[in-house]
Copies of this chain bind each other. A is one copy, B any other.
Amino acid sequence: MSVRARKSEIIKKEKRNLFIISSLSVFEEKGFNNARIKDITKKAGTSVGNFYNYFKSKEDVIEVIISGLTELMVNKFKRLFIYFQENRFPPISAVKNLFRGYAKMFKEKKESFLIFFEQMGGMDQKYRDKRNEILDNFTNEVEKLILRLIEFGARNQNPKITARIWTSTVLGVFIWWIRSDFEIEEEELIENLTEVLVKGTMSN
């Protein structure tokens, strides 16, 4: 590939990214179904037709966004969890570390998470299924964490239910945090969250 072609390749990727960012912002504001291609391209400072030089369809963008989310929710969180498992910290501080990793991602990808949490269910059967699949997957990872806490001496309980409690809590609380524009101080949020979940799971 020539220098020139490589340069244009980079510019194209940047443009594509700009469209994704504009889309996220418009989807966030109006919802996927009420977002107009014109809104997106206006925000991106270009024309309607040009959108279709980068994406096959309106669905195509949301699919790209969602596949990014899947990557995040499945792989990135999994990596954090592996790190959690490999370290021999006492539960509270280990979980705090894990949640700090979560918080970082929620902050970085706030629009994506808002879409996941608030809109994906209402888009279409297909996306609702996808969302539930991601949630289940995520909960499976959390379940391993719960099993580990049981090894650590947590009381007897149904790990599936407790895992679902953790998942709901983490998502619900962080989304609220995003929507409040990170009003509450991060460390305080994490501290409180960790204490409730870990103590709630461990104490007899």
Can you pick out 6 interface pairs between chain A and chain B where the beta carbons lie within 8 Å of each other?
A: A119-B122, A157-B192, A161-B173, A161-B188, A162-B196, A169-B172
The interface residues of chain B lying within 8 Å CB-to-CB of A82 are none
The interface residues of chain B lying within 8 Å CB-to-CB of A172 are 164-165, 167-169, 171-172
Residue positions of A touching B, CB distance < 8 A = 29-34, 117-125, 128, 132, 155, 157-158, 160-162, 164-165, 167-169, 171-173, 176, 179, 184, 188-189, 192-193, 195-201, 203
The interface residues of chain B lying within 8 Å CB-to-CB of A158 are 184, 188, 192
B121 contacts A121, CB within 8 Å? yes
Q: How many copies make up the complex?
A: 4
- With contacts A165-B197, A168-B168, A198-B200 known, what are 12 further pairs, Cβ within 8 A? A31-B128, A32-B122, A33-B122, A160-B184, A164-B176, A165-B172, A165-B173, A165-B192, A172-B172, A195-B200, A199-B203, A200-B200
Distance between A148 CB and nearest chain B CB, rounded to angstroms: 16
B125 contacts A122, CB within 8 Å? no
The interface residues of chain B lying within 8 Å CB-to-CB of A197 are 165, 196, 200
B168 contacts A176, CB within 8 Å? yes
Distance between A114 CB and nearest chain B CB, rounded to angstroms: 8
Distance between A118 CB and nearest chain B CB, rounded to angstroms: 3
The interface residues of chain B lying within 8 Å CB-to-CB of A195 are 155, 157, 200
A118 contacts B125, CB within 8 Å? no
The interface residues of chain B lying within 8 Å CB-to-CB of A31 are 121-125, 128
Distance between A143 CB and nearest chain B CB, rounded to angstroms: 13
| A189–B117 CA distance with the chains assembled, in angstroms | 23
| A155–B30 CA distance with the chains assembled, in angstroms | 42
B121 contacts A117, CB within 8 Å? yes
